[in-house]
Amino acid sequence: MHILIIEDECKTAAFLAKGLKEERFVIDVAGNGMDGQHNIDHIHYDLIILDVMLPGKDGWSILGDLRQTQKQTPVLLLTAKDAVADKVRGLELGADDYLVKPFAFSELLARIRTILRRGPIRQINIFKILDLEIDAIRHRVHRGGIRIDLTPKEFQLLLLMARRQGEVLSRTFIAEQVWEINFNSDTNVVDVAVRRLRRKVDDSFDNKLIHTVRGVGYVFEQR
Ligand code: CA
């Protein structure tokens, strides 16, 4: 498996490269956006670890251009702390996953394995499941032709579930992705938000889309 790391912080890049080589991945490192772009243009990678803030060409442009060229190479974004909006933007641009700095190497490795196992997520901006329609660009949701108003968090939650349709998502995973809450924090916030989301999206319809998986979390699917 050939992985490209585009990261301008030398220490971080070296640390990641060393760890991943020990896991038997083949690693290339690019220290700025232009070099990273050059590698992408000339070499096939199984995965790209992409820092958002880069000199030369930033991670957004690289990701945007990559998807523009129809390349489905999975991308794991490294975002700065407290940049919740980055996650939504990254999703819209077609990133496969995120890690907020600083992160543990074990967490990075777990995410990489998950992405490689799953294969790339197709970049879709309009989701249609039964009579539910989600427009990821305009942040609009309709069900049965009726507009549903969601808070930004509810929208992020719904989009996350829709993008991973059929995948059981743990409360911890949801909390991390939507609220950037750490592993050991109270994930009750997830249950509360899912309940609110269900009230808006599912309750007045016969066919439910959000399902509870006991002891694990939630799955979004048509049954
Ligand atoms: Ca950086």
With beta carbons less than 8 A apart as the criterion, state whether 21 and 29 touch: no
Q: Please indicate whether residue 183 or residue 196 has the higher confidence score (pLDDT).
A: 196
The CA 55 to ligand 1 mean position distance, Å, reads: 8
Instruction: Kindly state the percentage of the chain with pLDDT values over 70.
Output: 92
Structure-token match 């989009």, residue found: 159
Structure-token match 């979004």, residue found: 220
The residue out of 95, 118, 141 marking a domain boundary is 118
The CA 8 to ligand 1 mean position distance, Å, reads: 5
Residue 121 has pLDDT above 60, yes or no: no
Q: Write down the H helix ranges in 94-146.
A: 105-118
* The predicted structure's pLDDT at residue 136: 85
The CA 215 to ligand 1 mean position distance, Å, reads: 38
Give the domain CATH number at 62: 3.40.50.2300
The residue out of 55, 83, 118 marking a domain boundary is 118
26 in the same domain as 109: yes
* The predicted structure's pLDDT at residue 185: 60
Residue 148 has pLDDT above 90, yes or no: yes
The CA 7 to ligand 1 mean position distance, Å, reads: 6
Identity at 105, one-letter amino acid code: F
3-class secondary-structure state, position 157: helix
The CA 58 to ligand 1 mean position distance, Å, reads: 9
Q: What average pLDDT does this structure show over 177-193?
A: 77
Residue 186 has pLDDT above 70, yes or no: no
Q: What average pLDDT does this structure show over 151-161?
A: 92
Residue 177 has pLDDT above 60, yes or no: yes
* The predicted structure's pLDDT at residue 127: 86
The CA 133 to ligand 1 mean position distance, Å, reads: 36
Q: Most confidently modeled of 86-95, 111-120, 171-180, 206-215? A: 206-215
Peptide linkage before 120 cis (omega within 30 of 0): no
The residue out of 60, 87, 118 marking a domain boundary is 118
The CA 128 to ligand 1 mean position distance, Å, reads: 36
* The predicted structure's pLDDT at residue 212: 96
114 in the same domain as 14: yes
The DSSP result for 177-213, as a single string, is III---TTS-THHHHHHHHHHHHHHTTTSSS--EEEE
Domain count, the chain: 2
The CA 73 to ligand 1 mean position distance, Å, reads: 21
* The predicted structure's pLDDT at residue 69: 82
The CA 114 to ligand 1 mean position distance, Å, reads: 24
The CA 41 to ligand 1 mean position distance, Å, reads: 21
In which band, very low, low, confident or very high, does the pLDDT at 183 lie, cut at 50, 70 and 90? low
